[in-house]
């Protein structure tokens, strides 16, 4: 598997790309091309062009969850496909894989929308939708984990704003948003699992536990993505450090919504590696 960072909060030194507070990775495995999240704007497209990577032949688009820093780049992607149609440029119609709640309306404080810019009905005009609460196999080794069971008491418990649940007829009906759509990918390498996450709102330890249950693999090689840890002496941080320290990771690529003080703490539990736009990771 090959993973290329198209969007992160940071860029690598002396690499002339754009950064923004968001996530987008291009994943290639066994001839299958997967775009994992699309960031906040068109930055992922600009960076892909600078890297010589085309995004007209994607097999899958996977959304880690529905927040704006992971979904609002869909506008730029739809524009690319529309313009390709007008100009007669060939492109694939990718399958969009996500939890059903990833495309619902979300609110936070006085903000009118922090969720996906498009509903499922709108996106179905452009993509083949595969909305699933359960796991979805993308390749023989790459698995979409679906909704995450939250069994650890120290993480995945705090709501972020409100959510208008999918399938509700009353558009004014909202509930506390515990980000039930938050998920990730698990890649089974010969040496163990590689976990790819967006923000890990469900809790990175819960996500790893679920990946182990679904794949039957207990070894974990690497984790890449946002861990939604802001540091400080709190129960979640303490529980996460103990859990991560016990995994025996070869590397930890914590990024995006992982604060500096959280990274400093994590560096004491695992081999923390730098992440930025332009980073390429390869696994057998």
Distance CA 209, CA 205 (A): 6
Q: How long is the chain?
A: 284
CATH number of 2-282: 3.60.15.10
- DSSP classification of residue 57: S
In degrees and rounded to multiples of 5, residue 130 shows phi and psi of -130, 85
Q: Would you state the pLDDT for residue 169?
A: 57
- Strand pairing category for 95-98 and 128-131: parallel
Q: What is the 3-state secondary structure (H, E, C) of 132-189?
A: CCCCEECCCCEEECCCCCCCCCCCCCCCCCEECCCCCCCCCCCEECCCCCCCEEEEEE
pTM: 0.97
197-222: average pLDDT: 98
- DSSP classification of residue 101: G
In degrees and rounded to multiples of 5, residue 82 shows phi and psi of -65, -45
Domain boundaries, given as residue ranges, for the chain:
2-282
- The pLDDT tens digits of the residues spanning 26-51 come to 999 999 999 999 999 999 999 999 99
Is 70 exceeded by the pLDDT of residue 178?
A: yes
53-71: average pLDDT: 98
Q: Would you state the pLDDT for residue 167?
A: 73
Is 90 exceeded by the pLDDT of residue 168?
A: no
Is 70 exceeded by the pLDDT of residue 58?
A: yes
Is 80 exceeded by the pLDDT of residue 233?
A: no
User: CB count, 10 Å around CB of 215?
Assistant: 17
258-281: average pLDDT: 97
């Amino acid at each position: 598997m090959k993973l290329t960072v198209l969007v992160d909060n940071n860029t690598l030194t002396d690499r002339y790309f754009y950064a923004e507070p968001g996530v987008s990775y291009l994943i290639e495995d066994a001839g299958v091309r997967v775009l994992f999240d699309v960031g906040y704007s068109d930055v992922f497209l600009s960076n892909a062009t600078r890297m010589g990577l085309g995004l007209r032949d994607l097999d899958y688009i996977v959304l880690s969850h529905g927040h704006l820093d992971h979904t609002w780049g869909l506008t730029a992607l739809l524009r690319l496909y529309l313009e390709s149609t007008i100009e007669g440029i060939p492109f694939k119609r990718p399958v969009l894989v996500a939890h059903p709640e990833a495309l619902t309306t979300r609110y936070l404080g006085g903000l009118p929308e922090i969720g996906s810019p498009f509903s499922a009905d709108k996106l179905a005009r452009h993509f083949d939708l595969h909305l699933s609460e359960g796991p979805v196999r993308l390749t023989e080794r790459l698995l979409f984990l679906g909704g995450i069971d939250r069994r650890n008491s120290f993480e995945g418990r705090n709501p972020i704003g409100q959510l208008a649940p999918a399938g509700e007829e009353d558009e004014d009906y909202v509930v506390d948003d515990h980000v039930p759509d938050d998920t990730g990918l698990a890649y089974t390498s010969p040496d163990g699992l590689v976990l790819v996450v967006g923000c890990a709102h469900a809790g990175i330890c819960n996500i790893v536990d679920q990946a182990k249950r679904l794949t039957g693999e207990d070894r974990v090689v690497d984790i890449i993505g946002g861990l939604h840890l802001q540091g400080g002496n709190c129960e979640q941080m303490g529980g996460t450090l103990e859990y991560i320290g016990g995994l025996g990771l070869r590397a930890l690529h914590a990024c995006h919504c992982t604060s500096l003080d959280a990274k400093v703490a994590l560096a004491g539990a695992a081999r923390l590696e730098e992440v930025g736009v332009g980073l390429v990771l390869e696994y057998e």
